[in-house]
Structure formats: structure tokens, C-alpha cells
């Protein structure tokens, strides 16, 4: 007799196999058996949300929820309200079709979330078999007219003070080599979006930092490539007002509109468009005096920037509590090559980690919005999607508590993920924002509800309660050994957690003030 498999379990297995073995996804069985434990009359829908991330369009995060007693229409309508694409099936025989469609839509540029609903009638059917064909992304052949390529090339080649602004389409299109060739040949300084250390190697001499932090230099040509602007609807959104030419190249027409006012916009495949631009390069161009001059300046400025970051981090080596910059520095030199960091924090010194395009360099996954709660689940998704990479979930103490039940998932499914909790006992980002508003809180230096140290959360115990080993780190001298221990654990196939007490940095850091009251005496 075949083993009895609960319908949801069966579906999860199919989907997980699709995620981990995309090349092997041609033949998958859906063998649905009834779940006797479940009340047959109960309306139960499983919703799966597939979301492509930015790296090579390969990994997919899966979340699922179970809805009880809701009509399919309500569920489907809700999905439609949130996700641009939605598919659903009420029959088991439709599962292969909707699953293939979902993956196809999720991997088609501009890529994005797809809402899938499998009705209980589909999940509970018995003796149904089907094959899910892999939903490979379609080939996209969209390169603008030669005259447009020529105009962009001409602007970049002859610019006096150019700037590239890189964003997530570079990773989605697999355009890493092309962007490096363009930036290096034309000696172009490169900025990236806020917290986006994935779209250009941070230790590259051409890297100039986050676009929001650039000084107000007067650039003459600004070229945005797959860049997603963090518009606030204020004057800084127009910071390149004086530039003679602003160019935008990207996969998502919506994003081309949601950026600086563009003189030239290209809606096309970023890799192919960059390849077409690079094809305009002639070896003699390398001897153009303004390019040689700029390349030399970038080299020395880049070296200086990297040295300065290094020296600043090392200067904190003896600080107690441990300085976040020092922790990031030691992590960068201690954790393995090729580490994939899923980051959920705003103050964890991501900028000091060795992210880059090379296989040995690190990769970064993070959300573009600022909403908390994705980190632990995203680390699970990243590990499933990239099982050969060491995966680190780098997360703030506050952020952990938005999805701490995900530790159980790591333990249950034996997912080798090293969680590093940057425990500064605070919602420090919120305190900083409160302070920036400059009102009564800033005046009194009292920031309600941001100090998390009373009582302190024992993150090692929180992990242990869910089956994950870990350790607390308080001394800067202990950081390196602790990180090695964590790296060894994941190399051995186990999840592990480090609760590292880090200094609270920024406004009001010294304050532990919080309102003390009991709801009932």
C-alpha cells in the first residue's frame, strides 16, 4: 500500500522539489490522497504565494496559509486585490496547469508575486496524477533601436561627470558582467539604491555608495539601470535636476516612470541592452584622456574608501558592547566565501560586508519595502533556493519577534541557516525616526516603546525552545570564535543562532527610559 500523504503535504513536496531542482522539474507526480483526519465538510483552502527574488530570477519564496470556512470567491478576490496575477483551481487535475502558470508569471519580467489558490476540492481528491512542467521564464528580446543605443553610448562616452545608478534588474537579468564592463571601460562611478548592496560590488573601486548619500555634485549624465527609486514626494527626489541628460533602462515600465525625470527611457532587457551598449566600445577608446584620468581618480578614491571603512571598523575592536561595524567586519573575514545573507535590519552594517558578483563574494537578499517580518521566512526560502550556499539570516532583535516561529521550521526541516541576532535591545530605527521629527520626544529625550531591554529577550532560549542550538556573545574577543562555531554548524547541516549584544548606535542610544506601568495593580 502506498504511504498515506495528507494533501497539503503532497503539494508542499511538489512545490519544494520545483524550487530546489528547477532543471529536474519536468516530471512531478501529484498523487492526492484524501485526508481522513480532516472534516470533509470543512471548507479549507491553501494559498501559496510565490515570489521571485532578484538573484538570477531563480529563487522563489513560498508562504502558505490555510483559510477555513471561506468561499473561494472571497479568497480569490482578496488575492486579486494584493497581487497583480492570480490563478486558482478547484480540481486536482488543474493543479499542474495553475502551478506552471504561477511559476511562468513569477519568472517573467518584471517578475513579481503571484497568487495561487488551490481549493479543498482539488487538494482532497484521490488517485489523481499529473505532471507539472517547469515554468521557465520566456526569452525576452527587447533591445531598443540602434539610434537609441548610439545616443546613450554617446552621452556616456563623452560625459564629463557621469554617474550610473544601479538597481535590482541587474541581478534579475544576470547582467553582472555587462554592468562591470560598462562601468570599468567608461570609468563610471556607480551608486545603488538605499540598502541595496546587491546591485554592484561594494568593494569595487567604482562603487560610490548609496545614491541617497551622494554629495550634491553636479553630474552631467546620470544613467539609471534597473533602479527603483525610493520616492518620498519631496524635493530630494529631483536631486539630479541639473544633469543635462538622465537615462533610465529597466524591465518594469512602472519603475521607469517612478524615477528621476528621464530624458531617455528604455524599457527592455537590461542584459541585452547593456550588451548592445558594450558592443559600441573600441579598444582605442581606452586611451581617451578623460577616461584615463577618471579611471585613475576612481582607483585611488575607491582604495581610500575601502581602507577607511576597514580602519573605522577595526578601531572598534575592543568596544563593549560590540560595535556593529566591528561585527560586520569580523563576519566578512570569518564566514565562508559565497555566503548568502538575508538581511532584515536597517542598522546591521550591511555596507561593510563583502557583497559582490563573483562566486566567492557574498550575495544579499533583502526586501525593498521597510515592512518587518520577512527575514526568517526569506532565509528559509533562500536556503531552499540555494542549497549549496552558506545562508545567514542577519536580523535585528526587534525584527526577530515578527516571525520567530520560523525557527521551528528551520529545525523541523533541518535547514542549515545561521541566524545572527544583532541585539541592541532596541527598536533603534524607530527611536532615530522619532528623534528626527524633532518634537516633544526629542526635546525630552524620552522615546516611548523603543527600549526592549526590560525584560531582555533570551534569543538563545527562544531558538532552543524550537529545536535550534545557539550561544550568546557579549565580548568582542569572542566574536570570531562564535562566528566560526556558527559556520561549522551550518556546514554540518544544522541551523544555529548567535545572539550578539551590539552597541546601540545613533540618536538617544544611551537612553533606557521606558514607561513603567502595570495594567493591573
Ligand X SMILES: Cc1ncc(C[n+]2csc(CCOP(=O)(O)OP(=O)(O)O)c2C)c(N)n1
- Secondary structure in 3-state letters for 282-333: CHHHHHCHHHHHHHHHHHHHHHHHHHHHHHHHHCCCCCCCECHHHHHHHHHH
Binds 196, which of Mg ion, ligand X, none (CB < 5 to 8 A, cut-off by type)? none
| Residue with smaller CB distance to Mg ion, 353 or 372 | 372
Closest separation in Å from C-beta 407 to ligand X: 16
Binds 67, which of ligand X, Mg ion, none (CB < 5 to 8 A, cut-off by type)? none
| Residue with smaller CB distance to ligand X, 22 or 396 | 396
Instruction: For residues 89 and 226, give the distance between their C-alpha atoms in angstroms, rounded to a whole number.
Output: 34
- Find the length of the chain: 521
| Residue with smaller CB distance to ligand X, 154 or 449 | 449
> Interface with ligand X includes 371 (CB under 6 A)?
yes
Segment 387 to 416, residues that bind Mg ion, using CB under 5 A: 396-398
> Interface with ligand X includes 321 (CB under 6 A)?
no
Segment 425 to 444, residues that bind Mg ion, using CB under 5 A: 426
| Residue with smaller CB distance to Mg ion, 217 or 458 | 458
User: How is residue 306 written as a grid cell?
Assistant: 575601502
Per CB under 6 A, which region of 18-26, 85-93, 256-264, 367-375 contacts ligand X? Answer: 367-375
Binds 153, which of ligand X, Mg ion, none (CB < 5 to 8 A, cut-off by type)? none
Closest separation in Å from C-beta 165 to ligand X: 25
Count the neighbouring beta carbons within 10 Å of the beta carbon of residue 454.
Answer: 9
> Interface with Mg ion includes 508 (CB under 5 A)?
no
Closest separation in Å from C-beta 77 to ligand X: 24
Bridge partners, 167 (sequence order): none
- Secondary structure in 3-state letters for 134-172: CCCCCCCCCCCCHHHHHHHHHHHHHCCCEEEEECCHHHH
- Residue 471: which residues within 8 A CB-CB, separation 6 or more? 460, 482, 485, 497, 498, 499
Per CB under 6 A, which region of 242-250, 270-278, 288-296, 344-352 contacts ligand X? Answer: 344-352
Segment 379 to 438, residues that bind ligand X, using CB under 6 A: 396-399, 424, 426-430
In this chain, which residue has its C-beta nearest to ligand X? Answer: 396
Q: How far is CA 292 from CA 33, 158, 299, in A?
A: 68, 13, 11
Helical residues (DSSP H) of 24-140, grouped into ranges: 72-82, 95-107, 120-123
**What are the DSSP E strand ranges found in 187-230?**
190-192, 207-210, 221-225
Binds 151, which of ligand X, Mg ion, none (CB < 5 to 8 A, cut-off by type)? none
Closest separation in Å from C-beta 47 to ligand X: 20
Q: How far is CA 110 from CA 170, 196, 342, in A?
A: 12, 18, 22
Binds 370, which of Mg ion, ligand X, none (CB < 5 to 8 A, cut-off by type)? ligand X
Q: Which of 50, 109, 240, 346 binds ligand X (CB under 6 A)?
A: 346
Q: Which of 345, 383, 394, 403 binds ligand X (CB under 6 A)?
A: 345
Compute CA 38 distance to the chain's CA centroid, rounded to the nearest angstrom.
Answer: 37
Which residues sit at the interface with ligand X, rule CB under 6 A? 345-347, 370-373, 396-399, 424, 426-430
Amino acid at each position: 500500500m502506498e504511504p498515506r500523504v495528507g494533501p497539503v503535504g503532497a503539494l508542499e513536496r511538489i512545490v519544494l522539489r520545483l524550487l530546489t531542482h528547477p532543471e529536474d522539474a519536468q516530471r512531478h507526480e501529484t498523487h492526492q490522497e484524501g485526508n481522513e483526519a480532516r472534516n470533509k465538510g470543512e471548507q479549507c483552502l491553501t494559498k501559496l504565494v510565490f515570489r521571485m527574488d532578484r538573484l538570477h530570477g531563480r529563487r522563489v519564496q513560498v508562504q502558505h496559509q490555510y483559510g477555513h470556512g471561506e468561499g473561494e470567491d472571497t479568497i480569490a478576490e482578496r488575492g486579486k486585490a494584493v497581487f497583480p496575477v492570480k490563478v486558482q483551481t478547484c480540481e486536482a487535475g488543474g493543479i499542474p496547469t495553475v502551478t506552471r502558470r504561477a511559476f511562468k508569471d513569477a519568472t517573467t519580467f518584471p517578475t513579481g508575486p503571484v497568487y495561487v489558490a488551490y481549493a479543498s476540492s482539488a487538494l482532497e481528491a484521490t488517485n489523481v496524477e499529473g505532471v507539472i512542467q517547469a515554468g521557465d521564464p520566456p526569452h525576452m528580446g527587447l533591445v531598443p533601436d540602434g539610434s537609441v543605443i548610439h545616443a546613450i553610448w554617446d552621452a556616456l562616452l563623452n560625459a564629463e561627470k557621469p554617474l550610473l545608478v544601479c538597481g535590482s534588474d541587474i541581478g534579475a537579468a544576470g547582467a553582472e558582467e555587462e554592468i562591470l564592463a560598462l562601468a570599468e571601460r567608461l570609468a563610471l562611478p556607480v551608486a545603488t539604491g538605499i540598502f541595496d548592496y546587491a546591485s554592484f560590488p561594494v568593494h569595487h573601486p567604482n562603487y560610490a555608495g548609496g545614491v541617497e548619500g551622494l554629495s550634491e555634485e553636479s553630474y552631467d549624465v546620470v544613467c539609471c539601470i534597473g533602479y527603483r527609486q525610493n520616492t518620498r514626494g519631496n524635493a530630494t527626489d529631483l536631486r539630479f535636476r541639473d544633469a543635462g541628460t538622465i537615462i533610465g533602462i529597466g524591465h518594469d515600465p512602472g519603475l521607469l516612470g517612478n524615477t528621476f525625470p528621464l530624458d531617455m527611457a528604455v524599457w527592455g532587457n537590461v542584459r541585452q541592452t547593456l550588451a548592445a551598449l558594450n558592443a559600441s566600445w573600441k579598444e582605442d577608446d581606452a586611451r581617451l584622456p578623460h577616461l584615463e584620468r577618471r579611471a585613475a581618480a576612481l582607483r585611488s578614491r575607491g582604495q581610500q574608501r575601502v581602507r577607511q571603512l576597514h580602519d573605522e571598523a577595526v578601531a572598534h575592536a575592543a568596544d563593549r558592547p560590540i560595535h556593529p561595524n566591528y561585527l560586520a567586519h569580523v563576519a566578512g573575514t570569518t564566514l565562508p566565501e559565497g555566503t548568502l545573507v538575508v538581511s532584515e535590519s536597517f542598522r546591521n552594517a550591511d555596507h561593510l560586508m563583502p557583497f559582490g558578483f563573483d562566486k566567492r563574494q557574498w550575495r544579499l537578499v533583502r526586501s525593498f519595502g521597510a515592512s518587518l517580518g520577512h527575514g526568517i521566512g526569506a532565509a528559509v526560502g533562500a536556503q531552499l533556493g540555494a542549497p549549496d550556499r552558506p545562508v545567514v539570516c542577519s536580523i535585528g532583535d526587534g525584527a526577530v519577534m515578527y516571525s520567530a516561529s520560523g525557527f521551528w521550521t528551520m529545525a523541523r526541516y533541518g535547514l542549515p541557516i545561521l541566524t545572527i541576532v544583532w541585539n541592541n535591545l532596541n527598536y533603534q530605527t524607530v527611536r532615530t525616526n522619532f528623534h528626527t521629527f524633532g518634537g516633544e520626544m526629542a526635546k525630552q529625550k524620552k522615546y516611548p516603546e523603543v527600549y526592549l531591554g526590560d525584560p531582555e529577550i533570551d534569543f538563545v532560549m527562544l531558538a532552543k525552545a524550537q529545536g535550534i542550538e545557539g550561544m550568546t556573545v557579549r565580548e568582542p574577543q569572542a566574536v570570531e570564535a562564535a562566528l566560526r562555531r556558527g559556520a561549522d554548524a551550518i556546514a554540518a547541516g544544522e541551523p544555529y543562532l548567535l545572539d550578539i549584544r551590539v552597541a546601540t548606535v545613533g540618536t538617544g542610544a544611551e537612553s533606557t527610559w521606558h514607561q513603567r506601568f502595570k495594567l493591573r495593580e
